[in-house]
Amino acid sequence: MLGSLPRFRQDPLGLLMAGFETCGDVVRFRLLNRSLFLVAHPRDARRVLQDHANQYDKGTRGFRVLRVFLRNGLLTSEGAHWLRQRRTVQPAFHRDRIAGFGDTMTSAAGDLVDEWLRSSSETVNVTADMMRLTLRIVGETLLSTDVSQEADRVGQALHIMLRGANEAISRVVPMPPWWPSRANRRQQAAMRTLDDVILQIIASRRTHSAVAAGTPAASSDDLLSMLMEARDEETGEGMSDAQLRDEVMTIFLAGHETTAIALGWTWHLLGAHPAVRHRVEQVLDQVLEGRPPTIADLPRLGYIEQVVKESMRLYPPAWVVSRRPMTDDVVGGFRIPAGSIVLTSPYVTHRHPDYWTDPARFDPDRFDAVHEVDRPPFAYFPFGGGPRQCIGNTFAMMELVLVVSTIAQRCRLDPTGPHDLGRSPAITLRAATPITMRVSRRAAALA
């Protein structure tokens, strides 16, 4: 009667992988009275997300739940509103504009290392510390605000929002957000906390801009200022406070949560593969010669980028992307009825044996220049793809490489917990248990 729903709620990754291994590139599951299709081939993922993207919308339960929290930000909006916002926001994420954030990223990571090395405890909670670190980085780069003083309050509110979204998506019978349940009241309080923080910063920035109008210091280089200054190319209109809130909340949540998860998995994998970690340290010692990394070093830190990419191949924070066909479609030779749910899963496609030899093995050399040309588009898509690809992918990769380089240059993280942490797939792919590791100063860093 329930179809695959019980197993999907209990072990969605296991169910999708079992379906792919048993049935191939297109798999149909039944959840209650709905059909859900997994499309695992890169060609089919490209069809859904890029080539025929206008035939698919985001009318799935997951996106309906996210709209309660994120409202009409880039992740959840659609149609003309999304296109206008994407066109307005896009220049703020141009590579040249975000390059100036590199020093903020390395400085924040360096402060975390100082904190670790001063501590009397050798064991650190990598999961929690990466969350704090990325929260500080996104606060300083996005808002020019040090949110570390409110990290516990903001971090707890974000956690409550994500947990509430996860629970809402997995319920057999949906609960309307207006119902006065304890869970809904808790989530609404968390949203008020985040709204207060974000709207207060926006109001303060508008006041400052009005007072300082016409002076050389009237504008800032953070993303909020870029968004406030952005104008639609066709209409010349800027964003209202409500639009700014929605975009800031989306970037705040995505830039904080997904980057922290990617960092956590990367440290776990490096700790489990000493040979790869040793090569990382050699590259850093050779390129940096003891000084902190900068944005100018990125072209010579290619191996660090390979490590990050391989980590996100095995554990993509955005492990599944859902769409709904508005009309009947044919994908991989199979009819997909209008109104069904179609899943493209980086987690599954990143393990497709036609494109990844020994796919369960951690091997950063897969991403060197020689091997990367052998794979088609969408064989690897941790940031999604097509017109809805993550707008902050360049920002995120820069942050990941600089943070990993800053920390690995000065200290070494060794695992203290089990080799297999388990996986907790919800909106994002977290480890099932906190990642705890033993931190030690690197000998090379003493020089």
424-442 pLDDT, tens per residue?
A: 898 899 999 999 999 999 9
- Crossing angle for the helix pair 393-410 and 274-288, nearest 10 degrees? 90
Type of residue at 226: M
Alpha helices of 144-222 — where are they, by DSSP H?
A: 151-170, 182-211
Under the banding of pLDDT at 50, 70 and 90, the label for residue 354 is very high
Instruction: For residue 64, give every residue at least 6 positions away whose Cβ sits within 8 Å of its Cβ, in sequence order, or none.
Output: none
Terminal Cα distance for the chain, rounded: 66
Task: Give the pLDDT of residue 306.
Answer: 98
Cβ neighbours of 43 (radius 10 Å)? 15
Report pTM. Answer: 0.91
Query: Highest mean pLDDT range out of 185-189, 228-232, 235-239, 308-312?
Result: 308-312
State the average pLDDT over residues 127-137. 92
More confident site: 109 or 420: 109
The fold for domain 5-446 equals Cytochrome p450 (1.10.630)
State the average pLDDT over residues 333-354. 97
Task: Give the pLDDT of residue 307.
Answer: 98
- Crossing angle for the helix pair 393-410 and 241-272, nearest 10 degrees? 40
Residue whose tokens read 């100018």? 296
Would you say 362 and 271 are in contact if contact means Cβ atoms under 8 Å apart? no
Q: Residues 263-322: pLDDT tens digits?
A: 999 999 999 999 999 999 999 999 999 999 999 999 999 999 999 999 999 999 999 999
Under the banding of pLDDT at 50, 70 and 90, the label for residue 218 is very low
What average pLDDT does the structure give for the chain? 88
Is the pLDDT reported for residue 125 higher than 80?
yes
Under the banding of pLDDT at 50, 70 and 90, the label for residue 124 is very high
